[in-house]
Structure 1
Amino acid sequence: MTRQYKLDYESPIGVIEIIGTDEAISSIMFSERETIVNVKQDETPKVLVDCMEQLHEYFKGSRYVFTFPYILEGTDFQKKVWNALTLVPYAETGSYKEIAASIQNEKAIRAVGSANGKNLLSIVIPCHRIIGTNGKLTGYTGGLWRKEWLLQHEKSFKQS
């Protein structure tokens, strides 16, 4: 069995728990904890430290693309949706309907929404960039207030 490691990052919008192995990140999720629990240790794999540093750069506004290795754990359909989400550019939005069309499954709008909600790689797989066809913010596992914050954050740092 592959050993899992955890590392917390204190973002401007709450503690983010990073989980991964020696090789790749499997989860980046907002924790509802107020304080850091999982601190960097001597045995913390470089990939977790790289992830934390890249998240820090993202929140500072100097990173728009993530380069550390991650693993998608889900069904083939979910992986298709998550890969499509990575094509939504920084500081822009897409709709569930557009994602469904991009994976050649126009009728799967609700299934796309469900897959979006099961994304374990917050920010890196940018499910926060997906909004309703009517332009309204819709569900976000980390809370709608965080989704709104992330979208505003990206708009404020978008390169012209």
Structure 2
Amino acid sequence: MKRAAKTHDLKKVKNPGEKRRMAMKNKWSNFKEYFRRKTEDMWNDRGVIIFFVGFIAVLGAIYFTTHYNPNNDSEICTIESVEIIEHEDPYAISGAFETKECGTITMWHAPDGERIYPYLNSIEAGKKYRAYKSFDTRNDKTGFAVIRFEEIKE
């Protein structure tokens, strides 16, 4: 009887930190196994991932080839009317310009850090302006966005 009691007491006397270290070691190895399984799944799905990345790249290339304006092109337009559009946000003001040659063009930002409202008020109807197209607008002859106007003296 005494002998059984002694072995039972030895189990109670074990190092208390050892149990915690074993649990932490198991958690870390579980995490490594989980991470290993996830990377293996991603590696097996690489064809699908490459397809979607390629598809997004093709869509981006199509967008930039049709919308990007690297030369900062300009058109000469005669302004017929200026409309200042105020949006819900009081700082978001834009301008819409009706022109003879260029159709309807829009402006969202004033050049050189000026405020847009006074800049839009300075543009007069009936005068000719060189309208510089914005970088992210399509390179069309009509219906584009501008970054600034330059008055043409005749």
Task: With the length of structure 1 as denominator, give the TM-score of the two structures.
Answer: 0.23
Structure with the bigger percentage of helix: 2
- Report which of the two structures shows the higher radius of gyration computed on alpha carbons: 2
Structure with the bigger percentage of strand: 2
